[in-house]
Amino acid sequence: MWAQEGISQGNYLYGKWYLEKIDINDTIIFTPDDLQSTIFIYEIVAPLDKLIIDCCSGASTEIIHNDLSNSFVIDQSLFFSEFCFNINMGNFEQFYFSDFFEIQNHTSTYTYTVSQQGSLDFLVITNTSTGDQAFYQSQQLGVVSKEKVAIQLYPNPVTKSFQLEMDSSKEINSISVFSINGKEVLSFKKAQAIYDISQLAKGVFFVEIEIEGGKSIKKIVKQ
């Protein structure tokens, strides 16, 4: 059974999904700004499926899919068709490939859930041995919905506060600020004219903006 690219049918995971972030040992790690990472899953002969991972490196493997329990296991080691020579992206892949997908010891079972919010589909894959999770959505990050809502954050770098502008009538549901280590350090539960982050130390942070139909992530520098 096939699904359109990035669109789930029922609770199937077939299609193309864009990686948003991973949760390793309760630490959120966002996909690097200059990296668009995807997975593409399709059926070979039931229950055998193909999993293709396009990160800085390119990798693929076969998985055994249990449609009744919404789970799968990795049937063979990841085959790398490309290798990453970027240090920043390579560090991210260390968590993604080694810790989450366990390329050296693929004995875990992975469960998945597919949900829908507005025009977007969301996929969450959980490593049941570790509790680690990977979060995907059906459209490229930064494209909040099919309307391609543009979100501007300024000023950046930030001294005390920042503002947001959108070319859409959609409302902001929440704003979360994460440290570079993935810890949530601030949250705003509703839209504000100015978002005060003066209490934060200097450094790099990620701002997760959730609106109706999806999310967008912006990197800021606090001075």
Report the CATH number at residue 196.
2.60.40.10
Domain count, the chain: 2
pTM higher than 0.85, yes or no?
no
- Residue 191 falls within a domain, yes or no? yes
- Final residue belonging to a domain, choices 137, 171, 201: 137
Q: Is 71 helix (H, G, I), strand (E, B) or coil?
A: strand
Under a CB-based contact definition with an 8 Å cutoff, are residues 140 and 215 in contact? no
Summary count for the chain: helices (H), strands (E) = 1, 17
Angle at 157 between CA 165 and CA 150, to 5 degrees: 25
Specify whether 86 is located in the same domain as 21: yes
Instruction: Say if 4 falls within a structural domain.
Output: no
Q: What is the chain's pLDDT, residue by residue, as a tens digit (223 residues)?
A: 333 343 333 346 788 999 988 998 888 888 876 677 888 888 877 778 888 888 888 888 889 988 888 899 988 777 766 666 666 677 788 788 888 988 767 788 999 998 887 777 889 999 999 999 999 988 876 544 444 456 788 898 999 999 988 776 677 888 989 887 677 899 998 888 899 999 999 988 888 888 776 667 788 889 9
Closest to 223 (Cα-Cα) out of 158, 153, 142: 158
3-state helix, strand, coil in the chain (%, to 5): 5, 50, 45
Q: Is residue 80 part of a domain?
A: yes
Tell whether 97 is covered by a domain: yes
Question: What CATH number is given to the structural domain containing 33?
Answer: 2.40.128.270
Asked if 8 contacts 205 with a C-beta cutoff of 8 angstroms, the reply is: no
Position 142 in a domain? no
Q: Which helix (H) or strand (E) holds 138?
A: none
Same domain, 93 and 131: yes
Residue 183's domain comprises: 151-222
Residue 113 and residue 186 share a domain: no
Both 84 and 194 in one domain: the answer is: no
Domain end point (choices 82, 109, 137):
137
